[in-house]
Chain A
């Protein structure tokens, strides 16, 4: 048992002695390093060590219809004996204030991974022992920025390149005797450069994030991508308003999957705060669309053995033949929605348990992005989205965008200062193509997506 797992288990025992009906605890230890270079010199070096623990305790209360459970949660970065004692005292006091919920699900009897599954996981997800190497990280950042700056004389400035590495250890324990932990790492490399001058400046970037530094794309490849993207935006201008098909390139198509995940969040569904609250089983997308949540994928930074309630995570075919098969649930939402718990409890140290995906993966299609542009003829290729104009209750969508005008199947010029508007339900239904260019972005994998009939506003 690791120190963190023991810490979580110790806290459960303390909560029990303090009179809790049941409790669960999550400990997190994070060690991360980052290094940034700009114009070939080190600009910033960061090192962080942090550790914290969060406790959720349930207490029994006498209600009108018998005994019911209430709970409270608290976290601290002070893991001394005094700190833990104070934490337990706070949680128990707050649980007395908290209102009982007849549907509360105590942390007992979840479907935890068994010993064999734990052993298998550790075998297949071994983490690198000595991951952060300052010199290698610096050299990667330097090479990445240099490749971007040297790609073209039109690259006029740099926001720098950054290498990072993080190691996260997580341990969970609950009153039913389950206590286990796992470890994950992530390495990243990114660069952002500027082309043009004065009024005509443009910035773009490229990045990669993987489980280890060895599997990152080569620094030169990332640098060149950033430079090419930046240069291609030079001379961007407006575009006259109109209705047109829009192609979302993979890096912005991820946001569409994000909106879907928020809308099928079981908690939002229970609260009637989702435009998909009544959509279970209905064809949301054309039949060729498939989307899965996969907690154990060789590329996935969202891999997890168990969720924030210790429930074993399993693969879920969220969208099958275009239809919504399930909402995302923790044990509470599953109980209320009368489905099997999905293992989607998401938990940090602070605040409540939420619901979220592990790795969200869209099934790729067979058409290349180029053929997609050919097929739609005239429209828009979107490469960047800004703003927060999505109404989760109605699905109404309106965001700022930039990208490229497509005329007769070809990219003709960069466009900016435009907006895209529609409604997510209609956008999902209006997907015309899903591309063959599946691309991973940490814990999401998405290809290009073409959507018919969006409203573009701008000045052309």
Chain B
């Protein structure tokens, strides 16, 4: 059984492993010729309350703790994970991480010391500290009543409030120790509406790295509820979307998922080091229209995708990926940066201690341009105006990406004609931004709902976009 103990007072604690045990583990796992090694300790708690049929009847929590040991040499990495914190199991884990090395000598032992302080982008405390469960339950009940009061066609309301905090300690090969406490909250509302036997659904959500009390107070929860009902009712009247290539205007905010899929993944260091990305070897080339600047910025206070430092202890950064149309940078973790002769950019992330580090995005968005949103929409002779999206996906190698509308309109002569049903838009990552012809002055970041999947690992991310006109994308409607 494990030896971790609660502290006498205060928060539920991080994992307590004696310093000498950590030093011994590092010594045992790190061959003399290793390029890098680290220990990643994580203690996390999450809580969720969910309402359906007017009742908060799903209440759950989870507590997870464990340690990941990692050794890197050249292109190879050894990983071992355990949630058993007994000394013998820890040493077994350290030795298992060494499986990639044939040499028997170890690096000299190092003394642990604090890493240089990084950002303080969020409060290092449990997000539920000032939001007791009873208050969260009352919030969900209030939103249920509110949603039903908005329109009699609302038949079902689902509301979910969840929060987590993750206490992370990283000890690097040189003994530098970094510590971060990451709060995360999320509120989601979805409704089913019915009219003449026809059902539709709409949903909205928001969140970030802040205290849940902010969700309990204020108008944000009501605003999200109104949004979910509005979307569901809108979809009742949606007509089939057209099929084929046409100009598309994207609204500000969450449609930035375009950048995440079309650009961001293809610029992750691992794919480029291995030359498997459609963007491989293209730094310095024009990959977007003039005026297009895209950044990945993990340093924005309280955003869902932000991190004080990444999961390798590198402080997060603002990385310019595309500057005025020219490809300027990749997203790097330590291993891929080293192999490519570049600097890490604070993008080494892992879902948990039990997953390997991969280069991942944080908050990815396009900077604002000069055009007014009205002028951009007005320029559309016949096309689609897409304001809200569900998920997206990309084939890194061919560069083909998709994202699916959840609120979109058919536009003719600059005027909105009718809402259209959800349609998948498909395009080519390396060329789609060369077809950008107007960039709005209205950059918005998304409300804090993004989750990115890669190699089976999920991490929270953010996106953002100003209103944007793309002269051609293929719209996957059913109206050929």
Q: Which residues of A contact B (CB under 8 A)?
A: 38, 41-52, 54, 70-83, 86-87, 90, 94-95, 97-101, 104, 134, 157, 159, 194, 199, 201-203, 233, 236, 241-243, 271-273, 349-352, 384, 386-389, 391, 393-394, 396, 398-400, 402, 416-423, 455-459
Check: B471 CB closer than 8 A to any chain A CB: no
Q: Is B6's CB under 8 angstroms from A77's CB?
A: no
- Residue among B6, B93, B155, B474 with max Cβ neighbours from chain A (10 Å): B474
Within B388-423, the residues touching A (CB, 8 Å) are 390-398, 400-404, 421-423
Q: Is the CB of A47 within 8 A of B64?
A: no
Can you report 25 A-B residue pairs in the complex whose CB atoms are below 8 A from each other?
Answer: A41-B76, A46-B81, A48-B80, A51-B83, A73-B59, A74-B62, A75-B61, A76-B62, A77-B65, A78-B4, A78-B83, A80-B2, A94-B61, A99-B56, A201-B276, A271-B53, A350-B46, A386-B393, A387-B393, A389-B404, A396-B478, A417-B428, A419-B426, A457-B477, A458-B474
Chain A min CB distance to B395 (Å): 6
Closest beta carbon of chain B to A317's beta carbon, Å: 28
**Is B194 at the interface (CB under 8 A from chain A)?**
yes
Give Cα A387 to B453, complex, Å.
12
Give the residues in chain A near B64, CB-CB below 8 Å.
Answer: 52, 76-77
Q: For the complex, what is the distance from the CA of A88 to the CA of B59, rounded to whole Å?
A: 14
From A51, A100, A203, A273, give the contact of B397 (CB < 8 A): A203
- The answer, among B84, B194, B402, for a CB contact under 8 Å with A387, is B402
Whether B66 is near chain A, meaning CB under 8 Å from some CB there, is yes
Residues from chain B with Cβ under 8 Å of A421 in the complex: 241, 243, 423-424, 476-478
Are A394 and B59 in contact, with the CB atoms below 8 A?
no
User: A159 — which chain B residues lie within 8 A by C-beta?
Assistant: 274, 276
A47 CB contact (under 8 Å) in B63, B83, B96? B96
B461: min CB distance to chain A, Å: 16
A316 vs chain B, min Cβ distance (A): 26
> Which residues does chain A contribute within 8 Å of B478, judged by CB atoms?
396, 398, 421-423, 455
Chain B contacts to A: CB under 8 angstroms: 1-2, 4-6, 46, 48-50, 52-53, 55-66, 75-84, 89, 93, 96-97, 99-100, 133-134, 137, 155-156, 158, 192, 194, 199-201, 241, 243-245, 274-276, 278, 354, 356, 390-398, 400-404, 421-424, 426-428, 430, 474-480
Question: In the assembly, what is the distance between CA of A394 and CA of B49, in Å?
Answer: 27
Question: What are the residues of chain A within 8 A of B50 when measuring CB–CB?
Answer: 352
Do A46 and B244 touch across chains, with their CB atoms under 8 A apart?
A: no
Majority SS at the chain A contact face: strand
Given contacts A77-B65, A273-B156, contact A48 B201 (CB under 8 A): no
Identify the closest chain B residue to A394 (Cβ): B200
Contact in complex: B59, A49 (CB < 8 Å): no
CB nearest to B394 among chain A residues: A386
Assess the B62–A398 pair: CB atoms within 8 A: no
Given A50-B81, A94-B59; 7 other pairs, CB 8 A cutoff: A48-B82, A50-B354, A95-B59, A417-B474, A419-B476, A457-B426, A459-B245
Measured between beta carbons, the chain A residues less than 8 angstroms from B100 are 42, 44-45
Chain A residues lying within 8 Å of B84, measured Cβ to Cβ, are 49, 51
In the bound complex, CA of A72 to CA of B479 (Å): 47
In the bound complex, do residue B480 and residue A455 qualify as a contact, i.e. CB atoms below 8 Å apart?
A: yes
Are B199 and A393 in touch, CB under 8 angstroms?
A: yes
| B158 in complex: contacting residue of A94, A98, A242, A271, CB < 8 Å | A271
Chain B neighbourhood of A77, CB < 8 A: 63-66, 83
- Quick one: given A74-B61, A94-B133, A386-B393, are A41 and B400 in contact (CB under 8 Å)? no
* A49: chain B residues within 8 A (beta carbon): 81-84, 89, 93
Cβ contacts under 8 Å, A351 to chain B: 48, 60, 62
B3 nearest in chain A by CB position: A80
Contact call B244/A272, Cβ cutoff below 8 A? no
Partner of A44, one of B6, B79, B93: B79
Cβ contacts under 8 Å, B241 to chain A: 398, 421
Return chain A residues, CB-CB under 8 Å to B66. Answer: 50, 77
Q: In the assembled complex, which residues on chain A have CB atoms less than 8 Å from the CB atom of B6? A: 82
Max chain A C-beta neighbours (<10 A), residue from B278, B423, B427, B476: B476
Chain A, Cβ-Cβ closest to B397: A203
Q: How far is the CA of A80 from the CA of B476 in the complex (A)?
A: 53
Instruction: Name the distance in Å between B424's Cβ and chain A's nearest Cβ.
Output: 4
Of A45, A157, A203, the residue contacting B99 (CB under 8 A) is: A45
Q: Are B56 and A45 in contact (CB under 8 A)?
A: no
Query: Which of A74, A202, A384 has most B Cβ within 10 Å?
Result: A74
Name, among B52, B58, B243, B391, the residue most crowded by chain A CB atoms within 10 Å (CB to CB): B243
Query: Which of the listed residues A101, A271, A417, A458 has the most CB atoms from chain B within 10 Å of its own CB?
Result: A417
| Cα-based distance from A398 to B422 in the complex (angstroms) | 7
Measured in the bound complex, the distance between the Cα atoms of B403 and A203 in whole Å is 20
Decide: A50 near B156, CB < 8 A? Known: A97-B59, A455-B479.
no
Complex CA gap A458/B62 in Å reads 46
* A157 contacts B275, C-beta separation under 8 Å: yes
Residue from A80, A104, A199, A419 with most neighbouring chain B CB atoms (10 Å): A419
Cβ–Cβ contact A457 & B243, under 8 A: yes
Tell me how far the C-beta of B383 lies from the nearest C-beta in chain A, rounded to whole angstroms. Answer: 14
The docked-state distance in angstroms from the alpha carbon of A134 to that of B102 is 14
Taking the closest CB of chain B, its distance from the CB of A15, in whole angstroms, is 15
A95 to B398, CA, bound (A): 50
Choice from B53, B62, B78, B479 contacting A75 with Cβ under 8 Å: B62
A44→B335 CA distance, assembly (Å):
12
Task: Decide: A400 near B426, CB < 8 A? Known: A49-B89, A99-B56, A387-B392.
Answer: yes
Q: Beyond A80-B2, A386-B393, is A352–B60 a contact (Cβ under 8 Å)?
A: yes
CB <8 Å contact, A201 and B397: yes
Establish whether residues B1 and A400, one from each chain, have CB atoms under 8 Å apart when the complex forms. no
Query: Within 8 Å CB of A418, what residues of B?
Result: 426, 474, 476
A74, A83, A201, A350, most chain B CB atoms within 10 A: A201
State A419–B244 Cα separation when bound (angstroms): 9
Residues in A with CB closer than 8 Å to B396 are 203
